[in-house]
Structure 1
């Protein structure tokens, strides 16, 4: 066949077609074939927010929500309406960030390189033993996805600039004493109430629901009566823990590992030292003369600790007689380190040592020689370490092998399973949430319900469930989402309609009671018909009451009662019943304890409102265009 293609490509017809193609490119221009479609998700004053920026923000926000809310978020994520709002929220945040960046640029807000360096040096994650460590810093930012330190510094600069702008706006706000007093009075206010509860259930026995009503409700609310889509999977797993059971570690393996990692089992030489420091400052000669005078006093027999406490510029160690506790080689300044480890006997004091901090006298107060744990003492630890390491190496090897074979033979898992020595297993029916491990993992669910597995019926890519478990899955059986039959949900719908009508009747009865009370009529007979009575509660607080939260909230919305005005309302309670609530008295608690933080809290609230207002003003003045359809290119 290839020979025929080659021969036919030399014919007249093929040459004519090729000529047309060349002519088309010449006339239209190659650029018309290569112009990319605008995939930006929004444009802010002419600046485009790219799909890549959205995807990164979307994944970060989704991962954060998944970690914070677990299975609850996965349930929400199955709701397309919720996820559409979620994606719009991500775009809103990106638009706000772009507006703040543009405003910062217009206001010439800048953050210096030195400020950024100092900020980074103070981040605990980049420190070792309380000091900034460059190797740790580079490793950490690589884990965060910043492979150039300049990229990380730029991200910090952007974040700090935005915060400076926010703080500049928020710092203009303040709270006045009278506002704090008003808020304190409102928060400590108490009210006397009387309320009657009208149970909705008492109306249910007389309510009738027709078949037509049930059918109409079913047709209008079919989305509420759907069976979830379900999938059954064939799968193979590569499990470090299972691999470890097959690993046989020889004595030679243990000895080789011990020798290769001897530093892990060696405690280097340690010395405990004290020092006296005289800072050089501007007069270096005077400082050196002072330290030499102290040396002479020590040689004459004076106590090192006493002189350190009296004279050392290092006041923190000086309080403890100059003690610096235990140090290892390389921990201190080079000159200090060399002098400290040159001391041979406990009690020896060095000659004068000069460092960048000034002049020192160093005393050896204790000593620990280098020690190496013998192989016999760590053999059990080594056995676990070596077997785990070998299992991990085998795990990566098998993972790569399984991934390659499941890709090369995409319509079966048998080849991959045979190559890595595992069985193909079949899952139970799975939905998008509520499954047992490992099928509760969002990466597994993402693969299981992907078009690759569900529609094309091919093997998934390798799924790294955790550091010790990987999987490949493929479709065994699929059941799409479908609407339950009316007969199947008739009783459920009838119960819903009965409850709905019962609550409406309870609401009507409550409103009649409110109208009667406002008209000054007596309602005892009506309450008796409704199996309800008024209960009285005195000194109900705005927060922390044992009463229904909706009832209390409604009571504190009502105005103060007056002699000629009954202050009453109805409210649906959390359990679905209705309540009629009347406020009979309002009491301001003058003895309530004043919160020392209330002014600060109020100022923070006002400042946050001001900043939100500032952002809304930026949006109102900006030219903002949003994509009509926003999708994440790598949705789970």
Structure 2
């Protein structure tokens, strides 16, 4: 008769050992999973931090409004693009004016300044942050004033920049001359009998010892502002030409500066908003101010000035003394006549003296400036329209003052996380990086 088999009996000790081993395997598994998850999270955070979080960190804040690293880098690439385009244009002018050493040297110096800025990340970076802080302040002010820029206005800016006017080319508004056509009094014509129509003041000039007109040289604008544009020089074209030109320009921006259309449109929108706020802030700048017609005798020493002044008191002819003693060779042969001029054209000491004079024919005491000693005679004074250049200067001065005052009233913080992250693209074409 076969024996009946019995199930193996597992002792408590064996059961305890099996359970302990099972728990150990579970712990090892959990630790392995935890480590694996931690590694994935760390790697994932690194990727997210590199691709997103770092770009969202502020390089500056304006009363709590963040200016991100991504915004900074986009603008830095755009500013580099504009600076390079400006450098290329300057190089073309340099070639065009190479027969004139003075002009060629001027363009060379401008090119070198641009190259220096392109090669100095800190300088370019600080400029970009200044721009973005200013734009944040402009946006705050625009919101207060209810000023906006529509998509249609941005599109119109594109069209005008490329010379495309779907509603017809706008008619230029003629510039009014600041010089009156009034006849001069017998007293004025007696004081200056050598001319019935006084010479108009040179434009521009910075001192009364010279009346030579400065030769202006072409220069492209780089920084966004009330008179600048980020577009190429406009030329008349059809709608098809406009679309093609804009498409090519956007493609160049994308390829060379890594700027997409959306980002570029926002840059243009900021420029238009700047202009609107600028116009509002400077709306009340006076468009008229005092103009004077004066002549002077310029001498080198106070002793010479005293001799001339004494001669005038004794009835000597002003024009004859100017021809005899004045060191201002540009005016002495016409009696020292400086013509009509407004503020901002002469050195401050001269201006303060002549604009404080009130009586036609009045002669000043000797006035010292960096050029010597002036004896000035007032020949005319009246209110006239401010010249275009002067009005532009006055508006810019008022806007700059407003901007600085506003900055002082806000909490503005600048960080340094951008210093090692200033873009180095786009780059100068070969041959321009000297």
TM-score, normalising length: structure 2: 0.29
Which of the pair is proportionally richer in strand? 1
